[in-house]
Chains A and B, each alone.
Chain A
Amino acid sequence: MNPQELNDWLATARNWLQEQAPDYSGKARQGLTMDEDLALGRRWQALKSDAGYACITLPRQYDGGGGTEMQKILFEAEEKTWDLPNTYFGISLGMPVPMLLRYGSEAVKDELLPKAIRGEHIWCQLFSEPAAGSDLAALTLKATRDGDGWRLNGQKLWTSWAQYSDWGIIVTRSDPTVPKHAGLTYFYLDMKSEGVEVRTIRKLAGESEINEVFFNNVYVPDSQRMGEVGGGFKVAIETLMVERYAVSDEACGGISAERFIDIAARARIGSRPALEDGEVRRLLADTLVERQGLRSIHRRAMEAIAAGHEPGPEGAIRKLLIAKRRLLLGAAAMDLMGPDALLYDSSAAQSNDPVNAWIEAPPIRIAGGTDEILRNTIAEKVLRLPQDHRPDKGVPFNQL
Chain B
Amino acid sequence: MNFDFSDDQKMLADHARQFLGETCTFDRLREFVASGEDYDRALWQQMVELGWPGLSVPEAAGGLGLGVLELCLLSEEIGRVLAPVPFFSTVCQAVPLLEQAGGEVADSLLARIAAGTCTVAVANPDQGHSLELGGNSCLDGALAPVAWLHCADVLLVTASETDGTAVLLSVELDQPGVQRERLAAQVLDSVSAWGAAHFDKALTTVLARGELVVALNHKLRLRSAVLLAFEQLGGADSACTMARDYSLERYTFGRQIGGYQAIKHKLADVRVAIELARSNAYYGAWALYTDSPELPRAAALARISGTETFTLAAEENLQVHGGIGYTWEANCHFYYQRARLLAVAVGGPDQWAAELLESIR
A→B interface (CB under 8 Å): 261, 275, 278, 281-282, 284-286, 288-290, 292-297, 299-300, 303, 317, 320-321, 372, 374-376, 378-380, 382-389
Q: Which residues of A contact B255 (CB under 8 A)?
A: 386, 389
Nearest CB in chain A: distance from B296 CB, A = 13
Q: How far is the CB of B278 from the nearest CB of chain A, in Å?
A: 8
- Asked if B170 is an interface residue, CB under 8 A from chain A, the answer is no
User: Are the CB atoms of B280 and A292 closer together than 8 Å?
Assistant: yes
Ranked 9 nearest A-B pairs via Cβ: A293-B276, A296-B279, A379-B264, A285-B353, A386-B259, A378-B268, A293-B279, A375-B268, A375-B265
CA distance A294 to B279 in the complex (A): 7
**Given known contacts A293-B305, A297-B279, A385-B248, is B268 in contact with A284 (CB within 8 Å)?**
no
The count of chain B contact residues (Cβ–Cβ below 8 Å) is 42
Q: Does the CB pair A288–B258 fall under 8 Å?
A: no
Q: Which B-chain residue is minimally distant from A312 (CB atoms)?
A: B275
Q: Is the CB of A317 within 8 A of B272?
A: yes
Residues of B267-285 contacting chain A, CB below 8 A? 267-269, 271-272, 275-280, 282-283
- Chain B: which residue is nearest A264 at the CB level? B357
Provide the bound-state CA to CA distance between A281 and B301, in Å.
13
User: How far is A382 from B265 in the complex, measured between Cα atoms in Å?
Assistant: 12
Determine which residue in B248, B269, B278, B305 has the highest number of CB atoms from chain A within 10 A of its CB, and name it.
Answer: B305
CA distance A290 to B276 in the complex (A): 6
Verify A372–B271 contact, CB threshold 8 A: no
A-chain residues with CB within 8 Å of residue B283 when the two chains form the complex: 292, 296
Known: A281-B357, A282-B349. A294 touches B265 (CB 8 A): no
24 inter-chain pairs at a CB distance below 8 angstroms, sorted by A residue, are A261-B361, A278-B350, A281-B354, A285-B349, A289-B280, A289-B304, A289-B308, A290-B276, A293-B275, A293-B279, A294-B279, A320-B272, A375-B261, A375-B268, A378-B271, A379-B264, A382-B271, A383-B240, A383-B244, A383-B267, A385-B258, A386-B255, A386-B258, A386-B259
Measured between beta carbons, the chain A residues less than 8 angstroms from B271 are 378-379, 382-383
Task: Please give the residue numbers on chain B whose beta carbons come within 8 Å of chain A beta carbons, in ascending order.
Answer: 2, 4, 240, 244, 247-248, 255-256, 258-259, 261, 263-265, 267-269, 271-272, 275-280, 282-283, 298, 300-301, 304-305, 308, 349-350, 352-354, 356-357, 360-361
Q: Report chain A residues within 8 Å CB of B268.
A: 374-376, 378-379, 382-383
Pair B277/A293 contact, Cβ less than 8 Å:
yes
Docked CA distance A282–B247 (Å): 32
Q: Are A289 and B276 in contact (CB under 8 A)?
A: yes
What is the CA–CA distance of A285 and B359 in the complex, to the nearest angstrom? 11
Give Cα A230–Cα B163 distance, bound, in whole angstroms: 87
- Contacts between chains A and B (CB distance < 8 A), count: 114
Q: Smallest CB–CB gap between A371 and chain B, Å?
A: 9
Residue of A nearest to B353 (CB): A285
Residue contact B244 to A299, C-beta cutoff 8 Å: no
A288–B275 contact, CB under 8 A?
A: no
A160 to chain B, nearest CB (A): 27
Measured CB to CB, the nearest residue on chain A to B2 is: A299
Q: Cα distance A387–B248 when bound, in Å? A: 12
A275 and B357 contact, CB distance less than 8 A: yes
Per the bound structure, the CA–CA distance linking A356 and B235 in Å amounts to: 40
- Among B259, B300, B354, B357, the residue within 8 A (CB) of A389 is B259
Q: Which residues in A have their C-beta under 8 angstroms from that of B240?
A: 383
A296 contacts B357, C-beta separation under 8 Å? no
Q: Is the CB of A284 within 8 A of B248?
A: no
Q: List, in ascending order, chain B residues with CB within 8 A of A382's CB.
A: 268, 271
Flag if B350 contacts A281 (CB, 8 Å): yes
Please name 11 further chain A to chain B contacts, defined as beta carbons within 8 Å, in addition to the given A289-B304, A383-B264, A385-B248, sorted by A numbering. A282-B350, A282-B353, A285-B357, A289-B276, A292-B280, A293-B278, A293-B305, A321-B276, A378-B272, A379-B268, A383-B267
Question: Distance (Å) between the CB of B266 and the closest chain A CB?
Answer: 9
Question: Using Cβ atoms and an 8 Å threshold, which residues of chain B touch A297?
Answer: 275-276, 279
CB distance from A385 to the nearest CB of B (A): 4
A239 smallest CB distance to B (angstroms): 25
Contact between chains at A289 and B261 (CB < 8 Å): no
**CB pair B272 A321 closer than 8 Å:** yes
Q: How far is the CA of A299 from the CA of B354 in the complex (A)?
A: 28
Partner of A385 from B2, B4, B247, B277 at Cβ < 8 Å: B247
